[in-house]
Amino acid sequence: MTEFELIAHLVRSLPTNQSVRIGAGDDCAALDMGFTDTLLLFKTDAMVEGVHFLHDTTPEKIGHKALGRCLSDIAAMGGRPSHALITIGLPAEFSVNFVEGVYRGINELASRYSMAIVGGETTSSPDRLFFSISVLGTVKKDRCIPRSGARSGDALFVTGTLGGSLAGKHLDFEPRLEEAEWLTSHFEIHAMIDVSDGLAGDLRHLVTSSRVGAEILVSAIPISRAAREAAKANTNGEPIGDNRRRRPKPPLAAALTDGEDFELVFALASRDAVPLLDAWKARFPMIPLSCIGKITDDPGIRLRDKAGVRPLTEHGYVHFA
Amino acid sequence: MTEFELIAHLVRSLPTNQSVRIGAGDDCAALDMGFTDTLLLFKTDAMVEGVHFLHDTTPEKIGHKALGRCLSDIAAMGGRPSHALITIGLPAEFSVNFVEGVYRGINELASRYSMAIVGGETTSSPDRLFFSISVLGTVKKDRCIPRSGARSGDALFVTGTLGGSLAGKHLDFEPRLEEAEWLTSHFEIHAMIDVSDGLAGDLRHLVTSSRVGAEILVSAIPISRAAREAAKANTNGEPIGDNRRRRPKPPLAAALTDGEDFELVFALASRDAVPLLDAWKARFPMIPLSCIGKITDDPGIRLRDKAGVRPLTEHGYVHFA
């Protein structure tokens, strides 16, 4: 049984109650705690040394990434983060400077969004460091965007550029909180998810939850400079843990599967596509926004290019001729 | 620098915001999210294999303990738990049966309190299992009990019995949620904390936060049968991780320092002491409630017995003649 199969299995028998608007299986849980017009967002994320970061990674960047990953999930719901708890598992021999550096990274990012760090825990972890961060946020009930609302015919968008994140972006990305709040307050977004596992994997979560499919125009995918340079240099940056790989990826494959881009993928009615692109350009002139395709009735994801239409295979990997 | 010193150091520079009623340093954070009369409680707790449980511990009990530890903290604020997120760090070779067992333990306890498990994460942890659980709860604003409200002259109470938890109670205790809710709705509790590190250590947190001291009557400390039996048998139960010890403890030392009792220690006005004992006996006839001493102006904790008054030393350990 893989990790994904195990989760799917476990999720089926979780206890629930009447306050749960969105439970396990979205970017955050969304809870109706009795506010008039606001839902509470609740999310947790863990990072393990050697899997998500290396021992010699700058501690400030580790802290930034640890909190940033959670904030990217809050953004994907259209929400605003408010509070966090920080758990650190520390080996017996730890460097105080290192832990302080991690906290500097966390605190700096939290302060930027007026978040409070309200506690947490330091526990013993004999072999390697780990971090687990829990975040609370809020979102207006009518602006909470699930993964599951995409409709056939919707236009599909992605912010920023994709691929090659290991060259640096995975440690210093800015979560798309401001962009998401602007999007949800100006347009009717049907479904949204953040790109943490790669466009191929995360778009699959979105279309599966929405019981639809997608067709992507290959030439419209915004491939990052880092992904192109990595392909040229025969390296995709610092290899770590699960992301370790032996052969260089073509730039398109990197954009589809590298992961840790922390961009937003979302669907909205196709009639809103041009007004959105115009308004976005005026509001965020420095941040690319790309219409990469459309939502379809047919399940699964297909890639369209000059040669025709091909299915995007499972697990985010695509086989090229 | 010890773990405690590090935490104290880090806590001083955490970012905060206007919604924080109680931040780092109490059993839970208490947040004013804009409800009329309710605060949100937010808590996280981690358990690491070999530190908090052994590889051969029954998985259901591991799950029960992992969630129960958080619920004990919710109880210590006078609150009611509502939602949890579960993070599991899994080695590459994991047993599906084991993980399912852990979830059975978690789900069973959560269901008993009408809690929803609303997601979490499974991540790779190469060397050993870990769990990190985040819990939300609610408490009426006027019934939220901090550690910091004890006043000189208050009577000091403890629920249940103390010591010898490693013989079994640390894995199957019932968090004192019902008792805490009853206490806070019938009496004006000034300060409360749960006993996770041992009475000596946790009472010290309470008196330090409250800027007071305490005098404990040795003969009034409710020593558990497990602590007495462990002293006789020259063992204190299954030795694990940080709790490993080489020599048997006298029962009183066990009651003061063993930890993981998950009982409640609280202070209230001395005039309420007798009415409380009477009402408790009627409501919870099977659960001991002991008045173990009083809050004093003098800082620190002192033990009183036939031989006189002695200070209880730092770190929860007491030296006997």
Helices (H), A77-149: 96-112
**B318, pLDDT greater than 70:** no
Are A87 and B132 an interchain contact pair (Cβ–Cβ within 8 Å)? yes
ipTM computed for the complex: 0.91
Name the more confident of B8 and B246.
Answer: B8
Name the residue in chain B with its Cα closest to that of A137.
B33
User: What is the spatial distance between Cα A103 and Cα A86, in angstroms, rounded to a whole number?
Assistant: 9
Q: Which of residues 93-122 of A touch B (CB under 8 A)?
A: 96, 99-100, 103, 107, 110-111, 114-122
B123-136 mean pLDDT:
91
According to DSSP, residue B306 is labeled T
Q: Which domains does chain A have, with CATH numbers?
A: 15-143 (3.30.1330.10), 155-316 (3.90.650.10)
**A320, pLDDT greater than 70:** no
User: Tens digits of per-residue pLDDT, A1-32?
Assistant: 777 778 788 888 899 999 999 999 899 999 99
User: What is the spatial distance between Cα A294 and Cα A272, in angstroms, rounded to a whole number?
Assistant: 13
DSSP states of B49-99:
BTTTB-TTS-HHHHHHHHHHHHHHHHHHTT-EEEEEEEEEEE-SS--HHHH
Measured distance between the N- and C-terminal CA atoms of chain B, rounded to whole angstroms: 31
Select the residue of A40, A111, A121 nearest B46 (Cβ to Cβ).
Answer: A121
Closest CA to A27 of A82, A67, A64, A74: A74
Q: Which of residues 125-164 of B touch A (CB under 8 A)?
A: 125-128, 130, 132, 134, 136, 138
Q: Is A37 exposed, middle or buried (0-12, 13-18, 19+ CB in 10 A)?
A: exposed
**Other Cβ atoms within 10 Å of B40 Cβ, number:** 25
The letter for the amino acid at B6 is L
User: Tens digits of per-residue pLDDT, B241-264?
Assistant: 544 555 678 999 999 999 999 999
pTM over 0.90: yes
Which residues lie closer than 8 Å to A224 by C-beta, 6 or more apart? Answer: A160, A161, A162, A163, A164, A165, A169, A254, A255, A261
**Other Cβ atoms within 10 Å of A97 Cβ, number:** 9
pLDDT given at position A235: 52
**B235, pLDDT greater than 80:** no
Token pair for B215: 């005098």
pLDDT given at position A155: 98
Range scoring the smallest mean pLDDT among A114-128, B20-34, B224-238, B271-285? B224-238
Closest CA to A192 of A158, A141, A137, A146: A146
User: What is the spatial distance between Cα B242 and Cα A1, in angstroms, rounded to a whole number?
Assistant: 33
With both helix axes pointing from N to C terminus, report the angle between A96-112 and B3-11 in degrees, rounded to the nearest 10.
Answer: 30
Q: Taking CB atoms and an 8 Å cutoff, what residues of chain A touch B17?
A: 82, 114-116
E strand spans, A218-297: 264-268, 289-296
Place of tokens 């926004």: A289
pLDDT given at position A321: 40
User: Tens digits of per-residue pLDDT, A177-195?
Assistant: 999 999 999 999 999 999 9
pLDDT class for B36, splitting at 50, 70, 90? confident
Asked if A242 is an interface residue toward chain B (Cβ–Cβ < 8 A), one would say yes
User: Tens digits of per-residue pLDDT, A97-109?
Assistant: 989 999 999 999 9
Place of tokens 């080695």: B91
In chain B, what percentage of residues exceed pLDDT 70? 93
Which residues lie closer than 8 Å to A45 by C-beta, 6 or more apart? Answer: A66, A69, A70, A73, A132, A133, A135, B87, B121
